[in-house]
Structure 1
Amino acid sequence: MTYQIVMPRVMEIGGGASGSLASVLERLGLSRPLIVTDAFMNTRGPVPGLVTQLREAGITAGVFADTVPDPTTASIDAGVEALRQDRYDCVIGVGGGSPLDSAKAIAYLGTFGGTMRDYKAPRQNDGPALPVIAVPTTAGTGSEVTRFTVITDSESGEKMLCGGTAFCPTAALVDFELTLSMPFRLTADTGLDTLTHCIEAYVSRRRNPISDAHAIAGMRAVADNLRTACFEPDNREAREAMMRAATQGGMAFSNASVALVHGMSRPLGAFFHVPHGLSNAMLLPRITEYSAEGEALPRYADCARAMAVTAPDADDETAVAALLDALRALNRDLQVPTPADYGIDRAEYEGVLETMAEQALASGSPGNNPRVPDVPTLKQLYMDCYE
Structure 2
Amino acid sequence: MTARRIYWPAVNLIGPGSVKLIGEEINKLGLNKALLVTDKVLIQNGIVKQITDVLDNSGVSYTIFDDVKPNPTTKNVHDGLVVFQNEGCEFIITVGGGSPQDAGSAIGILSTNGGNVVDYEGIGKSKNKSAPIVAVSTTAGTAAEVTINYVITDEDRKLKMIMIDPNALPSIAVNDPELMLKKPASLTAATGLDALTHAIEGYTAKGAFELSDAIAYKSMELIGKHLVNAVRNGSNLEARSGMGWGSYIAGLSYSNAGLGIVHSMAHQLGGEYDLPHGVANAMLLPYVMEFNMDACPQKFADIARALGEDVSTVSVQEAAQKAVEAVRRLATEVGIPPLRESAFKPEDVEKLAEQAINDACTGANPKEVTKEDVIAIYMKAYTDAPNVVTA
Displacement of 1:312? 4.3
State the SS of the aligned residue for 1:178. helix
Distance 2:302 2:50 in 1: 43
| 2:332 is aligned with 1:332 | yes
Q: Which residue of 2 aligns with 1:173?
A: 174
| 2:292 is aligned with 1:291 | yes
Distance 2:324 2:59 in 1: 54
Distance 1:51 1:324 in 2: 43
Displacement of 1:318? 1.9
Check conservation: 1:17, 1:173, Cα contact below 8 A. yes
Check conservation: 2:301, 2:311, Cα contact below 8 A. no
Check conservation: 2:212, 2:254, Cα contact below 8 A. yes
Check conservation: 1:125, 1:163, Cα contact below 8 A. no
State the SS of the aligned residue for 2:72. coil
TM-score by length of 2: 0.95
Check conservation: 1:201, 1:207, Cα contact below 8 A. yes
Q: Which residue of 2 aligns with 1:63?
A: 64
TM-score by length of 1: 0.96
Cα distance change of structure 1 residues 364 and 57 upon mapping to structure 2, 3 Å threshold: closer
Q: Which residue of 1 aligns with 2:164?
A: 163
Displacement of 1:122? 3.6
**AA of the residue aligned to 1:90:** F
Write out per-residue CA displacement over residues 173-208 of structure 1, whole angstroms, 9 at most, x where no aligned residue: 110100011111100000000100000001000111
State the SS of the aligned residue for 1:255. helix
Distance 1:122 1:107 in 2: 16
Distance 1:17 1:311 in 2: 38
Distance 1:208 1:19 in 2: 34
Q: Which residue of 2 aligns with 1:259?
A: 260
Q: Which one of the candidate residues 364, 367, 370 is aligned to 2:363?
A: 367
Check conservation: 1:257, 1:365, Cα contact below 8 A. yes
**AA of the residue aligned to 2:352:** M
Query: Which stretch shows the higher mean deviation, 242-251 or 374-383?
Result: 374-383
Check conservation: 1:126, 1:165, Cα contact below 8 A. no
Check conservation: 1:126, 1:164, Cα contact below 8 A. no
Query: Which stretch shows the higher mean deviation, 126-135 or 243-252?
Result: 126-135
Distance 1:332 1:40 in 2: 27
Write out per-residue CA displacement over residues 12-41 of structure 1, whole angstroms, 9 at most, x where no aligned residue: 111011111210101122111111111122
Displacement of 1:123? 4.2
Distance 1:10 1:381 in 2: 40
Displacement of 1:45? 2.8
Cα distance change of structure 1 residues 45 and 100 upon mapping to structure 2, 3 Å threshold: farther
State the SS of the aligned residue for 1:84. helix
Q: Which residue of 2 aligns with 1:276?
A: 277
Query: Which stretch shows the higher mean deviation, 192-201 or 228-237?
Result: 228-237
Q: Which residue of 1 aligns with 2:389?
A: none
Q: Which residue of 2 aligns with 1:98?
A: 99
State the SS of the aligned residue for 1:135. strand
Displacement of 1:313? 5.9
**AA of the residue aligned to 1:104:** S
Structure 1: gaps spanning 5 or more residues: none
State the SS of the aligned residue for 2:61. coil
**AA of the residue aligned to 2:372:** P
State the SS of the aligned residue for 1:94. strand
Write out per-residue CA displacement over residues 129-162 of structure 1, whole angstroms, 9 at most, x where no aligned residue: 1000000001110001000100000211110001
Distance 1:52 1:308 in 2: 41
Write out per-residue CA displacement over residues 277-321 of structure 1, whole angstroms, 9 at most, x where no aligned residue: 00000001111001101x411111111112221234643112112
| 2:218 is aligned with 1:245 | no
Cα distance change of structure 1 residues 337 and 34 upon mapping to structure 2, 3 Å threshold: same
Query: Which stretch shows the higher mean deviation, 367-376 or 233-242?
Result: 367-376
- Give the CA RMSD over aligned residues: 1.3
State the SS of the aligned residue for 2:174. strand
**AA of the residue aligned to 1:101:** D
Distance 2:359 2:194 in 1: 18
Check conservation: 1:146, 1:254, Cα contact below 8 A. yes
Distance 2:143 2:166 in 1: 15
